[in-house]
Structure 1
């Protein structure tokens, strides 16, 4: 049996040890660090006091996904602890009730009224559990919607960057064509000037100056387009950085889903306990049928929760595939070569 009276200082030392080991400081992890001693209620109370002493608010550098992960993990720990306490209390009360029914079956009507009250109380507790599960599902749906929105925004930004790259490449190609025409015109002019140098020296000089001015203009325009191309490449690099951040958030959500699966397994174990209680309650008479029906409904809800968790896992895989497709599109676009000015 776990020893009572675990101090706040012991809980704080165990919490620091768990965090240094790179694990989440849940109630079970801290209890294991303490050598499987101390009640979970005492550990939970000390943890709340420690969090209040530390400010109770995450640092500005903590991301939204980390806060959501900590919230869901703490909520799952609290649900597990409260569910275990309720199940243990219900087991003790029900065992006593069955014993009284076996000793005096003729007083079963009076005891049945007490059983109905217990069934109503259990129904209220089950409704509260369903409300808590709905809150967790709403938080997961909100996180999924935020991730989808961020992915759509990054896709739109990536399309814009690709359009800018195409436009810059088109401008550079146009400038190269103009530059080539200018070089051809200059070569043609030089060949003609060698034949008419004596007669058209002044005209030749004017044409040379004009062409040199055109070449300077073309070179300046080409340099400006190179600057625009570098800016577009920088925007592409920024988009890649944002995609990397989105992938990191997606990995955090995957870890969150993996941590929720043990909670679903524990709920399935609790469902088995409820089934055992239903089998024992059936021996007391038809008065317990309502309680057994509600326990069966709880088992069906647990199965629905497991299917929803599986659906969330499939959705996370689809998000991972979407990230791979976006990165493949970026890799296929490639970095266009930086063109150099041709010698005149």
Structure 2
């Protein structure tokens, strides 16, 4: 498919220019004369039609050749300017899209760090609350241990007192036996009653002693269980302290990473500001380039008018025909 602006008239002008320079109007030569635009099949079709219409090459004057050359040159300059502007615009758009993507990535990273910081703070507060509960429980267990120790001391005092009573009773029993031996004939019956009463009291005291010993063993087992619970709670408290220190260390690491990311974000924002300034500078350069291109087009039209005037001076007798041809060329270039 032919590009926009490639038609039969342009192909004819290119062919006539080649013939005027005594060159063979081949498809490649015509396409090069047109600024390497248009498809070869379209140029071949137009050349074939022109060959059928005018088998004999027409005479080409200097005015037509100059007009064709100037038109081709203007078209090539316009195409190059459009390609350059389009390339700069595409590159600027890609850079701007990259900057926008980098800003989105940095914003997402900052949100994620903020969420992690909040989560770690919540875990730290939960650990502190758990530590407070453990401290309260440890204080309660310590009070219970003190109470049990006091109760054990009291039971031991009672046991010692009962042992003293038993020793005293044994001593009294020994004295009684000695007294009974001395007064055996006079107080045999009284001795038997006292002995029975003493044996009854002794059995009662021995039974109370066994119960006290059993209670002491039970209290000692409870005290051992409390000691084991205390050791376990102490170990749990140490583990909680280790976890709390580890979490504090992790929070400190996350804080440092957050500060580093804040610094990176500030640097990225500064780089983005520099790129925005560069983008505005490039826009300004593109605007100046467009203004220069318009000035070149105006200069080109001025040159074409001067060429028309030169043609009118060179024509001599054929002034009217040359003026008409110059007007057509000026309209075409416009």
TM-score computed with the length of structure 1 as normaliser: 0.47
* The structure with more radius of gyration: 2
